[in-house]
Structure 1
């Protein structure tokens, strides 16, 4: 079975802020000698992401909004949402660097004259990473040589790195949240510039809107990571 995704139009419906937060899952490990509960870390967990302050002030924006919520059909639909993390992204300069626009390798542009958008951060996976892994080795090509506490995505699976486990030159081994959703091959390019996350609406009515005389309204939309999709993919239920 194949699955189609919707994509949040981040240029037409920009959010004032993106709140992407991990939701760990701990389990009870019994009681300590003084009666306090002991908790044990697990490899489970998922992302909770809110797009806050989305302004609707044009007919085009409202039509796209309506089309998205109709296409999603509540919590069952799948959508790729932005999870940008410019505040922690490992820009080589140490400061925010906008994307650059370049032609194809043969010097040509797209048929409409636009150029290819390319992010300034370039980091690759240093070795094959299997499903369920909680560590990854990252090779810096063009980035700040500090990959602890940063976010990236691969095929719309969103990850956040923990403290460094080891550092060898420009290769960092770091802990990872959540556990790897799908295999990542060695030398795969990872998305640090504009990471994304495959998600569901948190609530069936999460995209309710109102109409007022000014036609201007502000909305926040809450999402949860589509863990069910990754589970089905790993089980071979999806093409």
Structure 2
């Protein structure tokens, strides 16, 4: 998959908002339409405040290469959905990921270390496709798992208010419904969730070329719900 280069083109913010799918039930006797919630829905995500241009020509070349690779709305890319302000850090404040060596104390050949999340939340029971209520187990996290975001294999989810709490087990509704099976015991990405998306528009990565001045740009995406549907019916 293509991944957004978050180090080369870091956005200042990554607002991700749900696009619920409701169904109208027709007008009532009073003339009002009653809307019914469905288990469908998807994400609208924007990467805002990406600084490109100036004397850093490499950033603009990276931008150009990305839009060629995407080829408009048909392309797929994994984007970051930074949610540090709602992430369930055990300390109650932002924590960086932890760098660890191998069990024998050694590093990789290039001197780098393992990266381990500061948050540890796992799926307690297998979550199947289209399920919209799940049970999470809090291993290392804040006491409250309502209103948090996590991803699994680049499908993004947000939890609702707790339905049941039993010690470290939280049963919560999720938006959207489960895209692909999440097995029991699977580690969930709460530190830096991601989402698989399409460009919202074919020309969504248009920028001014031939300028020396730095420019801050934004790009809009929609969740690639079609990808998950195709995967489910394959």
For 2:18, which of 13, 17, 22 is the aligned residue?
A: 22
Counterparts of 1:170 and 1:17 in 2: how far apart (Å)? 31
C-alpha distance after superposition, 1:190-237 (max 9, x if no partner): 00000000000001111111135434111100000001100010011x
| TM-fit CA distance, 1:59 | 1.6
Mark the runs of 5 or more structure 2 residues left unpaired by the alignment: none
For 1:36, which of 24, 29, 32 is the aligned residue?
A: 32
Counterparts of 1:21 and 1:111 in 2: how far apart (Å)? 41
Kept in 2: contact 1:206–1:222 (CA 8 A): yes
For 2:129, which of 131, 147, 150 is the aligned residue?
A: 131
Counterparts of 2:104 and 2:163 in 1: how far apart (Å)? 41
| TM-fit CA distance, 1:84 | 1.2
For 2:104, which of 99, 103, 106 is the aligned residue?
A: 106
Number of the residue aligned with 1:157? 155
TM-score (normalizing by structure 1): 0.94
Mark the runs of 5 or more structure 1 residues left unpaired by the alignment: none
Counterparts of 2:119 and 2:209 in 1: how far apart (Å)? 41
> What number of residue pairs does the alignment pair up?
232
Kept in 1: contact 2:88–2:148 (CA 8 A): yes
Does residue 174 (structure 1) correspond to residue 172 (structure 2)? The answer is yes
Kept in 2: contact 1:131–1:183 (CA 8 A): yes
| Aligned Cα root-mean-square deviation (Å) | 1.0
Kept in 2: contact 1:211–1:217 (CA 8 A): no
